[in-house]
Structure 1
Amino acid sequence: MTRTIDRLSLRGAINAKCRDCTFDEVEPGIWRQQVSACPVTTCSLHSVRPFSRSTRTP
């Protein structure tokens, strides 16, 4: 990441936290796909987590 955490936008900070919490290089899919499938519904960021275009429902 080229920007420091204090310069991230709100969206960037949410994306970074979700990626840090959920992404596993060994599991299939890119980080957005893994975050889209996040099962932790009690997380305060769950409703605003980033979605993968392939998993977003219309």
Structure 2
Amino acid sequence: MAHPKSKYRDAVAANCKSCNYDPLAPGNWREQVADCANANCVFFDLRPVPRKCLKGGVHDREAIAALRADLAERQGRQLARQRAE
């Protein structure tokens, strides 16, 4: 039987993934969930993020900002490739 804490984490991850993940957009689901800007969401501070976006077990705002910039750049390159085709 799964530990209650892991069930809770799985439920939060499933919610965030269903809300944010787009398989056609750049980044994996955790990167896209980290990019979530809906601070009104009850899961905002609990959302799963890549390990590189954690510092001491807490979301590292600077690392998330850097990830957002990287995703935006990758999205721009993807759009440029699509326009070129």
- Fold shared per TM-score above 0.5: yes
TM-score, normalised to structure 1's length? 0.78
Point out the structure with the larger strand share: 2
Alignment length (residue pairs): 50
**Equivalent position of 1:5 in the other structure:** none
Partner letter of residue 49 of structure 1?
R
* Structure 1 unaligned spans of 5+: 1-7
* Structure 2 unaligned spans of 5+: 1-5, 56-85
Give how far 1:57 is off: 4.3
Point out the structure with the larger helix share: 2
Percent identity of equivalent pairs: 34
The structure with higher relative contact order (CA 8 Å, sep 6+) is 1
Q: 1: distance between equivalents of 2:27 and 2:51?
A: 12
**Equivalent position of 1:40 in the other structure:** 38
- Structure 2 residue matching 1:25: 3-state secondary structure: coil
